[in-house]
Structure 1
Amino acid sequence: MNIAEKLAAAKKALEEKRNALPALTKEARSLIEKADSDEEFKAAKEKRDAVAAAEQEIKDLEEKRDLYEAAIKGTEEPTNTPAQKPEKHDYREAMNRYLHSRGRESEGIQFEKTDQGTFAVLRADPTDASDVANAGVKSPDVKPTIPETISYVPQRELQTVVDLKPFAQVFQASTQKGNYPTVANATTKMATVAELEKNPAMAKPEFKQVPWEVATYRQALPISQESIDDSQIDLVGLIQTNAQQIKVNTTNSAIAAALVTFATKTVSTIDDLKHINNVDLDPAYNRAIIASQSFYQWLDTVKDGNGRYLLQDSILTPSGKSVLGMPIAVVSDKTLGAAGEAHAFLGDVKRAVLFANRADFMVRWVDDQIYGQFLQAGMRFGVAKADEKAGYFLTYTPKA
């Protein structure tokens, strides 16, 4: 078998391997997608190995073909006589093979030497109306052959949700409603007494009963078993995560509804905020600020007389910032009001809000009626305003 015959055999084998590769690849992908058991995974792996072996055989055949073509070119001088020129459509097919093989398949291609180098000759067919009308192939023309990458794993929308529940006074309720006692700060003082005089009576602690009542919050979502089986992700886990976020939104809404009932104050400058912190609020209370985004934006832009920002870095606060020594937690504008409104609560949140936690549950059960599962999420809790002097509800209003 001479070199020309070897080249023809290599090209034929290469064409057969290339034609068989797409079907083999499709079959391997189908097995991988459907594999659930160990045996199916093993079969899918074997098929994928067969694809890899076929790809390697194609590479080996391409190297042989290139070797044979190089040997033939070294012994034969190409001639471009009119009788040897291919037909227009044959030349177009040869050019197509030349382009797709990145220059490896150059059979039937005419080359032209210039000062810049040797280039393949592109011949246009003026009698072909399709070439004149379309003037080249663009991406939209071959859209059916261009693959698209599709991801089946959804990305959750980025949203920062601060859980306000840890700020409140949380206790485990054992009944549906009741009263929670709080003790007012002592304001009396001792009197001086002479020797052997009778002891004056000590002031009794002042108790205040805070009534609370538990309400039930719950939701349920039916999930078909087909959607659970066919989904590319842990669908039940994703819905459970979403349900946990709904729970936080629910408790935040209830706590915020209690915060907005406190005595209101309007602030226009940082001095107004200092007055509330230093004078209006009793020194015995702990301080914290629950700020809406718009209120936080104002705080974040306030500077002192030396041009330094008042907000300070703090690793102990949810927002990573503090102002006037008070930690700050940032919530959305809608949590404390409406979008664009600048509100905040300044004070002792644990003394201000009572959170009676009765139950917190999330259950799943299979329903034989719908061939699916129900995911139920629910909570039983009550929120009450505890100490009305523990803080103020602020509204920022710029100076006219």
Structure 2
Amino acid sequence: MTKELRDLLAKLNAKKEEGRTLLAEDKLDEAKAITNEVKDIQAKIEILQEFQFENAIPLDDPLNPDPVDDKKAYGNVFFKALKSKRLDESEANLLEEHKALSSTTGEDGGYTVPEDIQTAINEYKRDDTDLSQFVTIEPVSTLKGSRVLEKEADTTSFVEFAEGAAVPDSDAPKFETINFTIKDLGGFLPIPNNLLNDSDAKLKNFLTNWLKKKNKATKNKLILDILATFVKKDIKTVAEIKTVINVDLDPAIKAGASILTNQDGYNYLDSLEDSNGKSLLQPDPKLPGATLFRGIRVHTASNKILKTVITDPGGAAETIKAPIIIGDLKEAVVLFDREKISIAATSVGGDAFKYNRTDMRAIVRMDAGKFDSKAAVYAELVIKEPA
């Protein structure tokens, strides 16, 4: 939307408000005059739309234009700016408006990616190697904040007292605070200028795929850093796995629990059999392709993401431990996400000019924290140990 059209829409709204005020004061002649001005402004808007948009903005709601047109216009300007092309005044204004929306506090440092790219990136959460699908994701709009939780403690019963006597004191709930500080996490992507000269569609696919991978890797690292703070527990037998599920987890947590392991851990579980030679991993009748261990869903992550620990590889003291996280990770870990990715690009700074390329910088903002340390048990399957 151009500045000229935006100004007309604002003027139209002001005139309508003025007309309503005059009508409320029974100033009919003056209200009629305002009505004629409103009609003239609406006519100008309609003509201007014919020149600027393929689909006209509905005049019955002039201050809420068709979002598809606005998103499409921003997308076009975004790629034009990414290619370091000169922007006219209306395009620069549109870029600045979206930039202002990207952050309520602090410096943005770029321009936000179009919504269709943002959506495509978020859809990647369905990939099994994206750990963020297993934890709680909480969108936030501030750089710092906190969440207050009731501290776990044994709940005591009420105390009996005689009629007419004072009600005895009772233990009060205790609370703890979980703080978060949004981090700026980013990196550079050198783009060959011949790619920038290609179609926006190809550039969009290239950019989206890169952001998907980097965004996923960033979330995974934050989550893994939190999981690394959990106390590790070695598991060597099926009975010990059952103990974790039945004893270590609270019954309320067990109801929503799952098992997260890597390829090595899944292969180990898949080799386990009962006394009748029947595999302990069973197919989930409700979800084709999924597996269950004693009724609990098993998720598998790549060995590259959730790593197996090998000590003294190939030596006499070689030990192999595969991670197996049992519990409800949505209760254990929370990812605070500002849900904004900002982009900036240059074709003259750094080494960009020297190598005839455009260097793009991408920044995401998020943080992660431990929500309930007793909601999950970080166990390690001892696949191999010294004889």
Q: If the TM-score is normalised by the length of the shorter chain, which range does it land in?
A: 0.5 to 0.7
Q: Identify the residue that residue 169 of structure 1 maps to in structure 2.
A: 136
CA distance in 1 between partners of 2:309 and 2:340 (Å): 30
Alpha carbons 1:321, 1:328 under 8 Å: kept: yes
* Pairwise CA distance, 1:214: 1.9
Q: Does 1:181 align with 2:151?
A: no
Change in CA separation of 1:201 and 1:284 when aligned onto 2, cut-off 3 Å: farther
Alpha carbons 1:348, 1:391 under 8 Å: kept: yes
The one-letter amino acid of 2:130's match is D
- Over residues 283-324 of structure 1, what are the superposed CA-to-partner deviations in whole Å (9 max), with x where a residue is unaligned? 222312221111111111111122111112237779711212
Q: Does 1:244 align with 2:212?
A: yes
Change in CA separation of 1:390 and 1:237 when aligned onto 2, cut-off 3 Å: same
CA distance in 1 between partners of 2:133 and 2:231 (Å): 22
Matches within 5 A, 1:70-109: none
Q: Identify the residue that residue 342 of structure 1 maps to in structure 2.
A: 322
Q: Which has the higher contact order (CA 8 A, sep 6+)?
A: 2
State the superposition RMSD in angstroms: 3.3
Q: Identify the residue that residue 214 of structure 1 maps to in structure 2.
A: 182
Matches within 5 A, 1:197-346: 198-229=166-197, 234-285=202-253, 286-314=256-284, 320-338=290-308, 341-346=321-326
Structure 2 unaligned regions, length at least 5: 1-126, 311-320
Q: Identify the residue that residue 382 of structure 1 maps to in structure 2.
A: 367
Matches within 5 A, 1:42-81: none
- Over residues 57-88 of structure 1, what are the superposed CA-to-partner deviations in whole Å (9 max), with x where a residue is unaligned? xxxxxxxxxxxxxxxxxxxxxxxxxxxxxxxx
Change in CA separation of 1:235 and 1:293 when aligned onto 2, cut-off 3 Å: same
Secondary structure of the structure 2 residue equivalent to 1:335: coil
Q: Name the stretch that deviates more: 162-171 or 287-296.
A: 162-171
- Over residues 249-295 of structure 1, what are the superposed CA-to-partner deviations in whole Å (9 max), with x where a residue is unaligned? 11112111211221211111111100111112222223122211111
CA distance in 2 between partners of 1:270 and 1:306 (Å): 15
| CA radius of gyration, larger in | 1
Alpha carbons 1:319, 1:330 under 8 Å: kept: no
The one-letter amino acid of 1:396's match is L
Q: Identify the residue that residue 396 of structure 1 maps to in structure 2.
A: 381
Q: Identify the residue that residue 134 of structure 1 maps to in structure 2.
A: none
Change in CA separation of 1:168 and 1:201 when aligned onto 2, cut-off 3 Å: farther
* Pairwise CA distance, 1:349: 0.9
- Over residues 36-60 of structure 1, what are the superposed CA-to-partner deviations in whole Å (9 max), with x where a residue is unaligned? xxxxxxxxxxxxxxxxxxxxxxxxx
* Pairwise CA distance, 1:211: 2.5
Alpha carbons 2:158, 2:170 under 8 Å: kept: no
Alpha carbons 2:136, 2:334 under 8 Å: kept: yes
Q: How many residues align?
A: 242
- Over residues 356-378 of structure 1, what are the superposed CA-to-partner deviations in whole Å (9 max), with x where a residue is unaligned? 11243153657577586554433
* Pairwise CA distance, 1:383: 1.2
Secondary structure of the structure 2 residue equivalent to 1:342: strand
Percent identity over the alignment is: 27
- Over residues 206-262 of structure 1, what are the superposed CA-to-partner deviations in whole Å (9 max), with x where a residue is unaligned? 212122222111123242442344589814412321221221111112111211221
Alpha carbons 2:226, 2:333 under 8 Å: kept: yes
The one-letter amino acid of 2:139's match is Q
Secondary structure of the structure 1 residue equivalent to 2:187: strand
Alpha carbons 1:317, 1:328 under 8 Å: kept: no
Change in CA separation of 1:307 and 1:222 when aligned onto 2, cut-off 3 Å: same
Aligned counterpart in structure 2 of residue 352 of structure 1, from 320, 332, 335: 332
Change in CA separation of 1:284 and 1:232 when aligned onto 2, cut-off 3 Å: closer
CA distance in 1 between partners of 2:285 and 2:187 (Å): 36
